[in-house]
């Protein structure tokens, strides 16, 4: 089927379905910043309450099938946010990849085209919500359900909760809040994990508390400080706290590194600024894609192992994946063993080659996805040059046309893509191996989201004077 015909079919579906789709209306006028921040707080409060509300009729499964993606999906096992933002992220990523690969052709310069694309994404989100709710409830909670009625109730709960989350995200993105609900929920989830690791008063397996701060107090009162630097079983420690602080500082420092290209406005005489090309040009999307791919590979081979090689006596399957029969979530051999992180310094010390192999794997796969995302995500030198021209600005000393501007950007963007991806892969790999609070991918996401919020606050001020330039400077 031709690409154009696919886009035409989607337009027809959108025109027929749009009148029946409930949606959050846009505010009639721009809402003051304090009010928008208040709406963000309300949405976050609702999400956190849902994250503490257990699924009715659910029994605790023996294995957490979404453990690999809890940070990315901002989800909590056994609660209304079991699926978290997973359906929204999956649908949005799918549509962006289809658009970036030119399978779907929409002209985002036209507001009506952007509206059609957003509505199509919303329809896909509904489809993903229904599919994931049915599959997940059936596969995870279905075996423990004695009455079919409870299974239907759980599917309904997952669907309803996911739709509420979708509307919370839409509420923030439509202008009632600031940024996006997805970013807000991820940031809150990671921050919650970090605070839990620091201050949790609940007892841990070593006789102390989970949180490192109360554990230090316990150790001082007990007169035994021998175990506060390192703790077994991946429990929070002084080493983990210092490592987390160090990774945060490195991320903030590298996020501020950029190449600044001078630009001048063709509409506002005398106005000049800079177009920043960040060292972390690709942001954290390649890390998310790499983590999702790895986690799905682990999940698939886990299912194959359970059905084909539960005793680890199949030569071919042993080469690909081996798991501990007493703990099916723990890989003990095969390729899968080397592409999953040995979390914690004590675990990494038992097999240093696995730790090194995982870090090198993360660097390589993040570089691959980084280069892919630059092309598919509209961040290539060609796309960036067109964005500059569309914003009515030009680079001094260069003709106002695509070719010379693209040639200039081509000197920088491919290089920062590879270097930035290598740094992200290295930080994510090292952080996961050494056991930072909130996980390596979680720390990367949180810092990136916080910096994006700061950028949006700056853009709010710039857009008051020059709307189009403000939107441009707000891009990554």
DSSP state letters, 172-190:
IIIIISSS-HHHHHHHHHH
Pairing verdict, β 327-333 and 258-265: unpaired
- Check: CB of residue 342 under 8 Å from CB of residue 434: no
Q: Which of 341, 357, 353 is nearest to 434 (CA)?
A: 341
pTM: 0.76
Helix (H) or strand (E) holding 285, with range, is helix 285-308
What pLDDT, on the 0 to 100 scale, is given for residue 212?
86
What are the tens digits of pLDDT across the range 368-414?
Answer: 888 887 876 677 888 888 877 777 777 877 777 778 888 888 888 88
pLDDT for the residue numbered 164: 94
CB distance 339 to 414 below 8 Å = no
Mean pLDDT highest for which of 167-171, 384-388, 452-456, 464-468? 167-171
pLDDT score of 78 more than 90: no
43-52 pLDDT per residue, tens = 999 999 998 8
Q: How far apart are CA 290 and CA 311, in angstroms?
A: 29
pLDDT in tens, 298-343: 777 777 787 787 788 887 888 888 887 777 667 888 888 888 888 7
- Quick check: 241 and 211 in contact, CB under 8 A? no
Can you tell me which residue has the tokens 């910043």? 33
Residue 402 neighbours by CB under 8 Å, 6+ apart: 382, 385, 386, 389
Query: In the predicted model, what is the mean pLDDT of residues 339-357?
Result: 84
DSSP string for residues in 141-170: IGGG-SSHHHHHHHHHHHHHHHHHHHHHHH
The contacts found for 355-363 with CB under 8 angstroms, 24 or more apart, are 355/433, 358/429, 358/432, 358/433, 359/425, 359/426, 359/429, 359/430, 359/433, 360/429, 361/429, 362/290, 362/425, 362/426, 362/428, 362/429, 362/432, 363/421, 363/422, 363/425, 363/426, 363/429
Indicate whether 131 pLDDT > 80: yes
What domains appear along the chain, each with residue ranges and CATH number? 6-200 (1.10.3370.10), 251-473 (1.10.3370.10)
């Amino acid at each position: 089927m031709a690409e154009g015909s696919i886009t035409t079919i989607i337009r027809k579906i959108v025109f027929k379905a749009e009148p029946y789709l409930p949606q959050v209306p846009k505010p009639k006028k721009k809402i003051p910043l304090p009010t928008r921040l208040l709406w963000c707080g309300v949405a976050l409060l609702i999400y956190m309450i849902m994250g503490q509300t257990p699924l009715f009729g659910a029994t605790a499964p023996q294995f957490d099938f979404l453990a690999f993606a809890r940070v990315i999906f901002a989800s909590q096992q056994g609660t209304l946010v079991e699926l978290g933002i997973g359906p929204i992220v999956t649908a949005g990523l799918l549509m962006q990849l289809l658009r970036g690969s030119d399978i779907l052709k929409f002209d985002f310069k036209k507001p009506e085209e952007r509206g059609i694309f957003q509505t199509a994404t919303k329809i896909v989100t509904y489809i993903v919500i229904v599919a994931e709710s049915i599959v997940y409830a059936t596969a995870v909670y279905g075996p423990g359900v004695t009455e079919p009625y409870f299974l239907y109730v759980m599917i309904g709960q997952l669907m309803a909760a996911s739709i509420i989350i979708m509307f919370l995200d839409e509420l923030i993105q439509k202008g009632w809040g600031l940024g996006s609900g997805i970013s807000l929920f991820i940031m809150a989830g990671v921050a919650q994990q970090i605070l839990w690791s620091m201050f949790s008063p609940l007892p841990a397996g070593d006789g102390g508390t989970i949180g490192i701060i109360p554990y230090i107090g316990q150790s001082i009162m007990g007169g035994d400080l021998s175990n506060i630097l390192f703790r077994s079983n991946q429990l929070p420690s002084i080493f983990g706290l210092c490592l987390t602080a160090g990774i945060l500082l490195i991320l903030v420092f590298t996020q501020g590194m950029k190449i600044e290209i001078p630009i001048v406005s063709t509409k506002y005489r005398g106005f000049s600024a800079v177009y920043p090309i960040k060292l972390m040009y690709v942001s954290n999307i390649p890390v998310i894609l790499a983590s999702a791919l790895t986690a799905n590979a682990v999940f698939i081979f886990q299912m194959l192992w359970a059905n084909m090689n539960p005793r680890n006596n199949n030569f071919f399957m042993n080469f690909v994946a081996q798991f501990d029969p007493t703990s099916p979530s723990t890989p003990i051999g095969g390729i899968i063993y080397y592409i999953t992180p040995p979390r914690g310094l004590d675990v990494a010390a038992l097999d240093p080659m696995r730790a090194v192999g995982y870090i090198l794997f993360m660097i390589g796969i993040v570089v691959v996805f980084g280069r892919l995302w630059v092309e598919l995500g509209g961040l290539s030198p060609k796309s960036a040059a067109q964005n500059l021209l569309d914003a009515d600005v030009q680079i001094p000393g260069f003709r106002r046309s695509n070719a010379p501007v693209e040639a200039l950007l081509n000197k920088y963007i491919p290089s920062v893509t590879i270097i930035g991806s290598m740094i992200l892969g290295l930080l994510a790999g090292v952080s996961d191996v050494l056991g930072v609070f909130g996980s390596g991918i979680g720390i990367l996401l949180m810092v990136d989201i916080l910096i994006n919020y700061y950028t949006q606050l700056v853009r709010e001020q710039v857009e008051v004077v020059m709307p189009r330039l403000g939107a441009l400077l707000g891009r990554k």
